[in-house]
Amino acid sequence: MSEKRKFGFETRMLHAGHIPDSYSGSRAVPIYQTAGYVFDSPEYAASLFELKQYGNIYTRISNPTTAVFEERIASLEGGTGALATASGQAAQLITMMTLLQPGDEFVASSHLYGGTYTQFEHTFKKLSVKVHFVDPMDIKNWEKAITPKTRVLYGETIGNPQGSVFDFEGVSALAKANGIPLVIDNTLASPYLCRPLEWGADIVLHSATKFINGHGTSIAGVIIDSGKFDFSNYPSISSPSIPYHNLNFFETFGHYGFLMKARCETLRDTGATIGPFDSFLLIQGLETLSVRMDRHVANALAVANFLKNHPMVDWVNFAGLPNHPHFDRAKKYLPKGAGSVFAFGLKAINNNPRETGKRLLEELELFSHVANLGDCKSLVIHPASTTHQQLSDEELKRANIKPELIRLSIGLETIDDLIWDLEQAFHAISR
């Protein structure tokens, strides 16, 4: 067992969290497809239920296959631990339900995935939690939105689908000055392209369905904690837990306090648990993360350059292109590449931008029309008619989504074939 050497990212993609067990020697991570676990004794079972001993009780709370995924992603993000969830939406819900209480408020960037926007704006209202959305392009907007009731600042590493890059240094300084944890959704970057904990974020979330899984085969999410935020005066984490005999999670579990509370209270009670087989698929995905991401960003840059130079294209929102307002910021926070998900708009044909976008989808041959991203296969979607269709016109405008906007998730195909497909589709709709 070596913990003296600081192993590299790729080594940890393959090894962190899994030690071949002494009885089977299985090199691949076994899938522990079980609901329950046999207790050593009644006393031992009691100590597990009281959290005096760490161990498996029931797969709704923890599972050995899932634990490998959790430790592995915690290692890759540089966190103290992780909690896997049934989806990215569940990761957000569990994080916020652990941190917030009725009457609390939080401030979020308006450059968010549409599903997140809806959850924050509408579903959280039912929990008596109020979100204030701010235009993230100006740090002053964050500053103005913080009130004594603000308990969380929230944003995405790469704003989807604007392609904006989060102002980590500006907003994390503000979070620290106000004693508020900064929560970052790092889905579009993956820990290979950006590690928000290294730039001052306190908690990182993922829709693990995307680049972590990498093959579009599971719905999953994960929460990673830096362990660095001081929750000693943070009511939801440090107040006595009545179900656990007035346990103070922060005093007792220290830098594991937030995650222990998230697992043993919020995950336990929401039941938004990942299944062991999905965890196995995420582990498989992580083993090739860096290799896939290098190819994703190379292909994405080539497609973005093709689009930028095409006469039918009106605009391209990709922070990897020098004309994007966050090109320099992307170089700083995402030096290996600005991801492979970005949006562009075609010049309207017949003055109908919505129809132009729709027509393009009909003509594409190789891009899959799918409400997902981060797959090995290239994907395309028209948000105004899918992911963001629940948003009113006013909300759509506030989220900066134009009717012609097409979002691409560039996969690992032969790059010439992807460009061929776009070219032939452009040709078809221009006739």
Question: What does the binding site for another protein look like in residue numbers (CB under 8 A)?
Answer: 1-4, 7, 11-12, 15-17, 19-22, 25, 43-44, 47, 50-56, 62, 64, 66-67, 70-71, 74-75, 79-84, 227-228, 240, 244-248, 251-252, 254-256, 259-260, 263
Check if the beta carbon of residue 345 is closer than 8 Å to that of residue 405.
yes
| The residue to which tokens 């391209």 are assigned | 316
- Nearest CB to another protein, comparing residues 248 and 386: 248
Check if the beta carbon of residue 318 is closer than 8 Å to that of residue 324.
yes
CB of 172 to another protein, least distance (A): 17
- Nearest CB to another protein, comparing residues 54 and 420: 54
- Nearest CB to another protein, comparing residues 162 and 279: 279
Cα 346 → chain centroid: 28
CB of 7 to another protein, least distance (A): 5
Q: In what order do the strands lie in the sheet with 368-369?
A: 313-317, 341-346, 406-409, 379-381, 368-369
CB of 21 to another protein, least distance (A): 7
- Nearest CB to another protein, comparing residues 35 and 392: 35
CB of 260 to another protein, least distance (A): 7
Q: How crowded is the C-beta side of 110, counted as CA atoms within 13 Å?
A: 20
Pairing of strands 81-85, 130-134: unpaired
Angle CA 63–69–218, to nearest 5: 90
CB of 237 to another protein, least distance (A): 14
**Letter for the amino acid at 100?**
L
- Nearest CB to another protein, comparing residues 75 and 89: 75
Check if the beta carbon of residue 421 is closer than 8 Å to that of residue 367.
yes
Pairing of strands 368-369, 203-207: unpaired
| Rg, the chain, Cα only | 22
CB of 288 to another protein, least distance (A): 17
Residues near 193 by Cβ (< 8 Å), separated by ≥ 6? Answer: 293, 297, 334, 336, 337, 338, 339
CB of 174 to another protein, least distance (A): 22
CB of 52 to another protein, least distance (A): 5
CA distances from 159 to 14, 271, 373 (A): 29, 29, 14
- Nearest CB to another protein, comparing residues 75 and 236: 75
Q: Hey, what are 48's tokens?
A: 């597990």
- Nearest CB to another protein, comparing residues 237 and 410: 237
Q: How crowded is the C-beta side of 147, counted as CA atoms within 13 Å?
A: 10
- Nearest CB to another protein, comparing residues 73 and 422: 73
